[in-house]
Structure 1
């Protein structure tokens, strides 16, 4: 969803957390839990599992928890193509996502792709290796669909006038379609990806070759699924590498607080008599979740405008999602690409992945002086 919202109901969200626990997927690996005081289960280090039929009842809206209506969530809107992989908070979000890129990447019966089997193979490969390939596929899908829209408008205009032959002008249309993605700083993925701690420097060349080969496999699978001859430049390994590198270098952390935590805190703060009555029902669910009740949803996102903002170890801005933001621009806006609270040497090591040496006022002040 473009709105970054939890959807469905408190019951559904608790049920999903318990379901993923039940199948062995830990929310702790994917999300983050805030420090500080909160609710306490019977033993925060030992979860007490619930029967699967109880979990199913939560997810199927067959079980209602007390005071859950105090936390209304948007209704679940399924994908327009029926893929059962994408869900939205509103029809407008579903339609916008479909129009912008999902119609080409949907694996449902209503998909615009000509080869769903190939798309499934691409998605499976991305999930098993690196889901950054999914981001790259969305960028390419967005560009193809934008190109087709521009082409349709061009042909419509051509019918009304003596417009030039489209065959000679499809590349400018493709460039126009690519413009929203062109803002992000790009380097080929295999050149800019950070060297893992367990890879020795003497093996760096081999590692980067393996990463390039991995991208080539992913690209071929994507070509089999959504290739468009008129957008052929998008499917070169060089361009694919730059698209993935763009996400590698420009992504922002995205954290959405879970309403499940708010719900249990609400129960915890009820007057004693109401709390005792409510906890007869809610306590088993809190005990089953353990500390996972406070886990927020964490991911990454790419915003073209933020991708143009320079780094500083003393940033004067932070990236937030707001409906409207008004700013008086007096100085250059900067954000921090890294944790700016670490020492100078560690900051420079982290920023090496971005291909520059930071010379912000703080780094100049803390830079070791040669005697």
Structure 2
């Protein structure tokens, strides 16, 4: 479900204008820089620890953390033979249909890797080579413990909660939901071919897989990060006059070449367990969002008004400024009819 700016489109747009090729190459190679760009330096791109081409990171710490918690099981650079081919097929299917499957795969990978760590800790003091203390019950208990961070999110099966396309006729709803279920089934089979673990077989049932995807469908928080290129031009626009005019003279041809594309923001989505536990209200007492200054992967919950002791903290799952009927229609995808104070007041 992650969407990112296509930087290649901006490069292509630049190439279609009259900027000399040698200037473009110098800019890309770092031999040439526009005024004040040092104030907008981006972190170096770090490749995956396993050497695959699917994942890139903003820091070594971020790469190592993802490797340890999730990616080591999904990396195509480390796997070989049939496992690598199977993972590539899974990724190709997800990228060609719905990349929400990649998020579901990360949940399963996270749970398996955490289970293995718990198992290792549980038996590291055991000197019996045959591990006589290991039972099906103890393994299942450790699997539940590994699953605990994910268990917080509200879940419904994906094919039951996904919104119908705007152009879908109500009579075709059953057919649409069956197609979605079949899509999830195909994805799950491809994932099983790549990373199936017999001790964690519960995770690979279609029912569990559908609930994991549904969790993201219902609980994700949209994130928007401003384009650093737009931030650069805003910064230049606020400079004192002589400095601003000199900078504009130097970058004007680049701005003309970029057109309107420079201001397109980067969009993504994330799942935060605590935020996912909050109930909806069309008159929410708080809102969840990611601030530009938050660089640690966290989101924040901000109160919209004074909240009394003992009062439930609520957020809005939708645009609460929509008319009553539209709000109720959108909330139907979450499986409930809103009866908050605002809806009771506006109900026809």
In 2: Cα distance, 1:329 partner to 1:21 partner: 49
In structure 2, which of residues 222, 234, 245 is the aligned counterpart of residue 253 of structure 1?
222
Q: Hey, what does 1:32 align to over in structure 2?
A: none
1:267/1:362 Cα in 2 relative to 1: closer, same or farther (>3 Å)?
same
Q: Hey, what does 1:341 align to over in structure 2?
A: 321
In structure 2, which of residues 254, 261, 281 is the aligned counterpart of residue 312 of structure 1?
281
In structure 1, which of residues 117, 121, 133 is the aligned counterpart of residue 85 of structure 2?
117
Contact (CA 8 Å) 2:156, 2:210: kept in 1 or not?
A: yes
| Alpha-carbon offset, residue 117 of structure 1 | 1.5
Contact (CA 8 Å) 1:80, 1:95: kept in 2 or not?
A: yes
Q: TM-score scaled to structure 2, two decimals?
A: 0.87
Q: TM-score scaled to structure 1, two decimals?
A: 0.81
Does residue 178 of the first structure (1) align with residue 147 of the second (2)? yes
| Alpha-carbon offset, residue 253 of structure 1 | 0.7
| Alpha-carbon offset, residue 208 of structure 1 | 0.7
Contact (CA 8 Å) 1:103, 1:112: kept in 2 or not?
A: no
Structure 2 unmatched runs, 5+: none
State the Cα deviation string for residues 192-237 of structure 1 (Å, max 9, x = none). Answer: 1111112111111111111111111111111111111111111111
Does residue 358 of the first structure (1) align with residue 343 of the second (2)? no
Q: Hey, what does 1:234 align to over in structure 2?
A: 203
Contact (CA 8 Å) 1:106, 1:112: kept in 2 or not?
A: no
| Alpha-carbon offset, residue 22 of structure 1 | 5.0
| Alpha-carbon offset, residue 61 of structure 1 | 3.0
Alignment of 1:40-189 (within 5 A): 48=17, 55=24, 57-108=26-77, 110=78, 115-159=83-127, 164-189=133-158
SS at the partner of 1:169?
helix
SS at the partner of 2:33?
coil
| Alpha-carbon offset, residue 55 of structure 1 | 5.0
Aligned residues: 331
Contact (CA 8 Å) 1:113, 1:225: kept in 2 or not?
A: no
Does residue 277 of the first structure (1) align with residue 246 of the second (2)? yes
In structure 2, which of residues 308, 312, 335 is the aligned counterpart of residue 332 of structure 1?
312
Structure 1 unmatched runs, 5+: 7-15, 25-46
Q: Hey, what does 2:8 align to over in structure 1?
A: 19
SS at the partner of 2:287?
coil
In 1: Cα distance, 2:211 partner to 2:254 partner: 46
CA RMSD of aligned residues (A): 2.7
1:130/1:269 Cα in 2 relative to 1: closer, same or farther (>3 Å)?
same
In 1: Cα distance, 2:203 partner to 2:22 partner: 47
In 2: Cα distance, 1:329 partner to 1:141 partner: 41
| Alpha-carbon offset, residue 50 of structure 1 | 5.1
1:54/1:329 Cα in 2 relative to 1: closer, same or farther (>3 Å)?
farther
1:17/1:237 Cα in 2 relative to 1: closer, same or farther (>3 Å)?
closer
In 2: Cα distance, 1:236 partner to 1:52 partner: 54
